[in-house]
Amino acid sequence: MADVPAPTPQNTDGIWILLIVSFIFFAWVSNGGPSKFEERQGATRLADGGTSVIRSTSERETTARTSPSSPVTQTSSSDLARSPYAGKVVISSKGSAASAIQVNQENITIRNNTRSESISITGWTVKNGRENKLFPTSSSTLQVRYQSDRVAIPTGARILTGTQANFLTPVVLGPREQAYLVTGKMPNQSPYAVPVSFKLNKCIGYLEALPPYNFSPRASANCPAPSKEPELASLEQSCYNYVRRLSACHTPVFEVRDGIDYVDKTTGLSGYCKSYVKKRFSYSGCLAQHVADNDFTGTSWYIYLNYPQQLWDMNREHISLYDAQGRLVDELSY
Residue 24's pLDDT band (cuts 50, 70, 90): low
* β-strand partners of 303: 181
CB 153 within 8 A of CB 125: yes
Same domain, 184 and 121: yes
Domain co-membership, 136 together with 244: no
- Residue 193 CA, distance from chain mean position: 22
Q: Are residues 130 and 165 in the same domain?
A: yes
Q: Are 263 and 116 in contact (CB under 8 A)?
A: no
β-partners of residue 331 are 320
The number of CA neighbours under 13 Å toward the Cβ of 236 is 11
The residue-averaged pLDDT of 94-115 equals 97
Asked if 238 and 275 touch (Cβ cutoff 8 Å), the reply is no
Find the mean pLDDT for residues 116-134. Answer: 96
Q: What's 3's DSSP letter? A: P
What are the φ/ψ torsions at residue 142 (nearest 5 degrees)? -110, 135
What is the DSSP-derived secondary structure letter of residue 199? E
Top pLDDT among 278 and 58 is at 278
Single pTM value for the model: 0.75
- Number of residues assigned to the chain: 334
**Is there a single domain that holds both residue 169 and residue 99?**
yes
Instruction: Identify whether residues 254 and 309 lie together within a single domain.
Output: no
* Co-location of 197 and 306 in the same domain: yes
**Cβ-proximal residues to 313 (8 Å cutoff; 6+ apart), any chain:** 128, 129, 130, 133
**Which distant-in-sequence residues (6+ apart) come within 8 Å of 224 by Cβ?**
202, 203, 248, 286, 289, 290
Is 102 among the domain residues? yes
Higher pLDDT, 74 or 272: 272
Residues 180 and 256 in one domain: no
Asked if 271 and 307 sit in the same domain, the reply is no
User: Is residue 225 very low, low, confident or very high in pLDDT (cuts 50, 70, 90)?
Assistant: very high
CA distances 58 to 139, 146, 203, 332, Å, are 18, 10, 49, 28
Domain interval for residue 238: 226-285
pLDDT tier at 32 (50, 70, 90 boundaries)?
low
pLDDT band at 254 (very low <50, low <70, confident <90, very high): very high
Q: Is 245 a member of any domain?
A: yes
Question: What is the average pLDDT value for the chain, to the nearest integer?
Answer: 83
Task: Please check whether residue 186 is in contact with residue 213, taking contact to mean a CB–CB distance below 8 angstroms.
Answer: yes
Q: Are residues 173 and 312 in the same domain?
A: yes
